[in-house]
C-alpha cells in the first residue's frame, strides 16, 4: 500500500527545507576562518563610528537604533534579510530582532559596571539555527563585535534603563513590524517595550524630547563621509560592477534576453564574492530604458538597439551604482550616437565642478545646461521645461550602505562618494522627429570627492563611444557557453 500524498506532505516539506537550508549553510566542520572572507569591517571600525556618534549627539541624550523587520516572501519563506544600515554601521550586527542604545555619556549599572552602549541581540537557539542559519548570540556579540554590554532580546523587558533622565531620546521612524506570538523578543516586542520604558506617546512628534529629526541629521553627517575602511569595500563593489559591465559588453548578442543579461552581471558579481545587488538590477533594452527603475527585465530578445544596464554589486554591505548604455548590435546608430554624446558631455560638465566645498547645485546645473542646450539645438525640445521632460531625475546621490545613501546634500566634501548620472529618455510618440523615438541613455559613474577634484571609482568600465564599441568587439569566454534546449513544451524551445 502506498502512502497517501497528504501523509507524505510533511515529510516532503521537511526534506525540501533540509535541501533549501542545509546546502546554503556551512556545516560546523566547514565553518573555519579559512573558509570565510577576510575583509569584513573590523569591530574597531564600528567602535569608532559609535565614538563619532557620541561626539555628535546633544548633551544628556540617548540614541536608539532599531533593526529592520523581516518580511514574508512566500509560505514559510522569508526575503533574504537586509540589516538596517545604521545597525550595521554602528555595531556590526547583521541579524534582525535587535536594538542598540548609544549613550552620550558613560552610564553605570547597579553593579558598578560602566558602559556607553547596550546591544540586545537574538538569543542562540539550536532548533531555529538548524533551519535558518547560525546566530551570533550573546557571546559572539561580546567577543566578535566587542560590545561588552550585550544581552539577549528577552532581557530587555526587565532591563532597567531610566529614560526619564535624558533630555533627548533620539530614534528614527518606527519600523512597522507584526507581532509573532511564538517569539517573545522579536522586533515588535522590543519596540513595544522601548515605547513603554521611555513613555513615548502615540503622537510624539510635538514633544521635543522625542526627536527623530536629529536622528537623520546626525547619522547623515557621519555616513556621508567615508572612512578608509569603507572606501576599501566601496572600491571593490564598484570595480566588481564594472567588470560585470565589461563581461556583458563582450558577451552581448541581439538574441539574448534582458533576464539573461541580468544573470551575466550578477554571476560576475558573485564570482568576485559580492553577496548580492544593492538594488534590483535594471536591464532595459530599447524603449524599456525609458522606465527609470525598470526591474522586470522580461523582454526575451534585446535586439540590436540600445541597452541600458544599471546594476550595482553589494560587497560586505556597500553597494555600487553603475549604469552603462551600449548598442546591443555592436555599433551606435547615428541618432543614438548624438544622444549618447550629449549625455556624456553633460556628465563631463558635472565632473568638472566637483571638489571639496563645491555645491551639489553647481554640478546639477552644469549637467542640466548641457542637456537643455543640446536638446533645444537638435530641435527635440523647444525650451528648458520641455527638455526637463526628457531628463526627469536628479543628477546623483550618495552611495554607501544604501544605494541612495544618507547625506545632507548641500556642500560636497572630501571623501563623500556620489553618483553622477545624467540621462535622456525619449519615449515613442514624443513631440520630436521620429528618429529619436525609443532612445534612452543614462551614464552613471561613482566618484569620490577629493580636495581639488574627484576620483572616478568606476573608470574600469568604458564610457566613450569608441571604447564601448571596442569592448563589445572583444571575444567573451561566454561565447562558447551553450546549454541544451529544454525538452518540456515551451515557445522558447531553443538551444542557447
Ligand atoms: N540605480 C538607482 C539609481 O541610479 O539611482
Ligand atoms: Mn544612482
Ligand atoms: Mn543606478
CA distance 87 to 64: 10
Q: Using the mean position of ligand 3's atoms as its centre, give its distance from the Cα of residue 403 in Å.
A: 8
Please state the separation of Cα 164 from the chain's center in Å.
Answer: 37
Q: Beta strand 313-315 with 276-277: parallel, antiparallel or unpaired?
A: antiparallel
Q: Using the mean position of ligand 2's atoms as its centre, give its distance from the Cα of residue 493 in Å.
A: 37
pLDDT, position 182: 76
Nearest C-alpha to atom 4 of ligand 1 is from which residue?
Answer: 321
CA distance 55 to 8: 60
**Residues lining ligand 2 (ion), CB within 5 A?**
321, 419
Residue 278 Cα: closest atom of ligand 1: 1
Q: Residue 385 is inside which H or E element, if any?
A: helix 384-390
119 contacts 147 by C-beta, under 8 angstroms:
yes
Q: Which residues' Cβ are closer than 6 Å to ligand 1?
A: 279, 310, 321, 403, 421, 444
Residue 310 Cα: closest atom of ligand 1: 1
Cα–Cα distances in angstroms (integers) from residue 465 to residues 36, 158, 249, 325, 344, in the given order: 40, 64, 12, 10, 9
pLDDT, position 177: 83
Radius of gyration of the chain measured on its C-alpha atoms: 26
Question: Relative to the alpha carbon of 280, which ligand is closest?
Answer: 1
Q: Which CATH code fits 228-472?
A: 3.90.230.10
Residues 6+ apart with CB under 8 A from 467: none
Nearest C-alpha to atom 5 of ligand 1 is from which residue?
Answer: 404
Residue 393 Cα: closest atom of ligand 1: 5
Kindly give the residue spans of alpha helices, DSSP state H, lying in 182-327.
Answer: 187-197, 213-223, 228-251, 258-271
pLDDT, position 496: 55
CA distance 372 to 388: 7
Nearest C-alpha to atom 3 of ligand 1 is from which residue?
Answer: 321
Mutate to test the pocket of ligand 1, among 310, 313, 420, 422 (most ligand atoms within 8 A of CB): 310
CA distance 311 to 323: 6
pLDDT, position 483: 92
pLDDT, position 110: 84
pTM score: 0.92
351 contacts 385 by C-beta, under 8 angstroms:
no
Q: Using the mean position of ligand 2's atoms as its centre, give its distance from the Cα of residue 321 in Å.
A: 5
Domain ranges of the chain: 3-223, 228-472
Question: Relative to the alpha carbon of 420, which ligand is closest?
Answer: 2
pLDDT, position 8: 36
Phi then psi for 189, rounded to 5 degrees? -65, -45
Q: Which three cell numbers stand for residue 164?
A: 526619564
CA distance 292 to 442: 9
pLDDT, position 12: 35
Long-range CB pairs of 364-370 (<8 Å, 24+ gap) are: 364/394, 364/395, 367/395, 367/420, 367/422, 368/395, 368/422, 370/342, 370/345, 370/346, 370/422
241 contacts 199 by C-beta, under 8 angstroms:
no
Q: Which CATH code fits 3-223?
A: 3.40.350.10
Report which of 386, 490, 398 is spatially closest to residue 430, judged by C-alpha positions.
Answer: 386
The DSSP bridge partners found for residue 325 are 308
The DSSP bridge partners found for residue 114 are 108
CA distance 56 to 124: 34
Q: Using the mean position of ligand 1's atoms as its centre, give its distance from the Cα of residue 2 in Å.
A: 55
Please state the separation of Cα 82 from the chain's center in Å.
Answer: 9
- Over the chain (496 residues), the average pLDDT of each successive run of 10 is 35 37 40 83 98 98 97 94 98 98 94 94 96 95 97 95 96 88 88 96 89 93 98 98 98 97 98 98 97 96 97 98 98 98 98 98 98 98 97 98 95 98 98 98 98 98 98 94 86 57
Amino acid at each position: 500500500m502506498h502512502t497517501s500524498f497528504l501523509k507524505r506532505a510533511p515529510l516532503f516539506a521537511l526534506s525540501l527545507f533540509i535541501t533549501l537550508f542545509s546546502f546554503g549553510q556551512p556545516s560546523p566542520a566547514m565553518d573555519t576562518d579559512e573558509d570565510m572572507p577576510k575583509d569584513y569591517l573590523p569591530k574597531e571600525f564600528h567602535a569608532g563610528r559609535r565614538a563619532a556618534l557620541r561626539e555628535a549627539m546633544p548633551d544628556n541624550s540617548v540614541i536608539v537604533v532599531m533593526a529592520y523587520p523581516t518580511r514574508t516572501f512566500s509560505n514559510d519563506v522569508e526575503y533574504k534579510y537586509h540589516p538596517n544600515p545604521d545597525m550595521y554601521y554602528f555595531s556590526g550586527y547583521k541579524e534582525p530582532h535587535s536594538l542598540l542604545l548609544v549613550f552620550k555619556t558613560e552610564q553605570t549599572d547597579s553593579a558598578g559596571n560602566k558602559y556607553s552602549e547596550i546591544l540586545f541581540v537574538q538569543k542562540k537557539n539550536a532548533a531555529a539555527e538548524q533551519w535558518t542559519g547560525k546566530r551570533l548570540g550573546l557571546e559572539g556579540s561580546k567577543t566578535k563585535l566587542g560590545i561588552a554590554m550585550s544581552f539577549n532580546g528577552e532581557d530587555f523587558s526587565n532591563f532597567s534603563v531610566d529614560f526619564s533622565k535624558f533630555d533627548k531620546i533620539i530614534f528614527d521612524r518606527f519600523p512597522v513590524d507584526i507581532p509573532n506570538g511564538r517569539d517573545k523578543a522579536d522586533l515588535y516586542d522590543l519596540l513595544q517595550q522601548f515605547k513603554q520604558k521611555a513613555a513615548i506617546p502615540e503622537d510624539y512628534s510635538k514633544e521635543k524630547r522625542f526627536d527623530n529629526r536629529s536622528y537623520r541629521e546626525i547619522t547623515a553627517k557621519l555616513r556621508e563621509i567615508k572612512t578608509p575602511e569603507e572606501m576599501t569595500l566601496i572600491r571593490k563593489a564598484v570595480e566588481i560592477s564594472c567588470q560585470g559591465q565589461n563581461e556583458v559588453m563582450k558577451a552581448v548578442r541581439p538574441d539574448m534576453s534582458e533576464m539573461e543579461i541580468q544573470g551575466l552581471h550578477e554571476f560576475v558579481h558573485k564570482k568576485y564574492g559580492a553577496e548580492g545587488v544593492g538594488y534590483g538590477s535594471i536591464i532595459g533594452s530599447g524603449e524599456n530604458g525609458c522606465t527609470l527603475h525598470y526591474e522586470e527585465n522580461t523582454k526575451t530578445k534585446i535586439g540590436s538597439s540600445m541597452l541600458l544596464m544599471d546594476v550595482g554589486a553589494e560587497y560586505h554591505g556597500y553597494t555600487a551604482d553603475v549604469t552603462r548604455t551600449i548598442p546591443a548590435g555592436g555599433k551606435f546608430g547615428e541618432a543614438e550616437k548624438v544622444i549618447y554624446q550629449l549625455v556624456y558631455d553633460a556628465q563631463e560638465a558635472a565632473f568638472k565642478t566637483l571638489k571639496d566645498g563645491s555645491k551639489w547645485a553647481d554640478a546639477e546645473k552644469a549637467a542640466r545646461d548641457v542637456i537643455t542646450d543640446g536638446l533645444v539645438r537638435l530641435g527635440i525640445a523647444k525650451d528648458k521645461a520641455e527638455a526637463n521632460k526628457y531628463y526627469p531625475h536628479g543628477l546623483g546621490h550618495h552611495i554607501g550602505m544604501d544605494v541612495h545613501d544618507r547625506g545632507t546634500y548641500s556642500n560636497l566634501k572630501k571623501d563623500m562618494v556620489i553618483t553622477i548620472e545624467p540621462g535622456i529618455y525619449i519615449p515613442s510618440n514624443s513631440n520630436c522627429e521620429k528618429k529619436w523615438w525609443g532612445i534612452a541613455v543614462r551614464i552613471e559613474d561613482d566618484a569620490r570627492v577629493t580636495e581639488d577634484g574627484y576620483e572616478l571609482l568606476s573608470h574600469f568600465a568604458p564610457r566613450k563611444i569608441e571604447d564601448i564599441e571596442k569592448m563589445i568587439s572583444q571575444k567573451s569566454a561566454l561565447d562558447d557557453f551553450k546549454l541544451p534546449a529544454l525538452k518540456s513544451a515551451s515557445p522558447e524551445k531553443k538551444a542557447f
